[in-house]
Amino acid sequence: MLKLGVNIDHVTTLREARYRGQSEGEPCPIEAVRLTEAAGAHGITAHLREDRRHIQDRDIWAIRKAIKTRLNFEMANTGEMIDIATRLKPEAVCLVPEHRNEVTTEGGLDVANQIESIKATNETLRQVGIEVSLFIDPDPEQIEATAQSGSPVIELHTGAFAESYDNETNRSFEIERLIKASEQAHALGLIVNAGHGINYENVQSLFSIPHLNELNIGHSIICRAIAVGLSQATSEMLNKMAAYDTE
């Protein structure tokens, strides 16, 4: 079964647009957790950014308390975030690159050029029972570096695929990159997840990629929820994903 992790960051993006700096407001990320889990999501993803542009500290602790499935805590590889993670104890941490001027995460982590730092973080988190994944581009060097880092999971950055989706030639090229990346990672013993820019239109184009374990999807589901509600939006994505052959 191909699993779905629902990223709820943009629930709080909407809240912060009106209630930034206040201790409460709507919409409520905890309600989003409950609705998506009840609809069948296999996990919840939340990114506590250094600039706190959407998820706030109070949110991540409330999510940790409310969640009944699995928390995938996205974070930068910094001392502050490592400290929070070791106290929060999510089931998984996904290390991502972070830049203050980006709208959202715009590229994969450069594991190869910071492998010693990532090794140290991986060991620190492993000691408290946290699984570590690395958000990387479908690049052979980065996949090899991930295996060397001790991280058991990769999340393939599907942004280039999503951006090229309307161009058949470019789309085919990006899918082939993802196929090769997944095959390489699987051969190295890594679990393969994927995410970024996946939506209801393009998700099934990813089904030619072997060995996928989980897709992490946020923006598209939250957008669809405006029209049909979060429960139905989650169910619709799960229905589209059900045809993936994990063999």
- C-alpha to C-alpha distance for 134 and 122, rounded to whole angstroms: 10
Which residues neighbour 156 within 8 Å (Cβ) at sequence distance 6 or greater? 136, 137, 138, 178, 181, 182, 185, 192, 193, 194, 195
Active site residues: 47, 74, 196
CA distances from 163 to 68, 93, 216 (A): 33, 26, 17
CA 203 and chain centroid, separation: 15
What is the full DSSP assignment across 76-134? -SSHHHHHHHHHH--SEEEE----TT-SS--S----TTSHHHHHHHHHHHHTTT-EEEE
Say what angle helices 230-241 and 219-228 make with each other, to 10 degrees: 120
Give the count of beta carbons closer than 10 Å to the beta carbon of residue 112: 17
- C-alpha to C-alpha distance for 44 and 39, rounded to whole angstroms: 12
Residues in the chain: 247
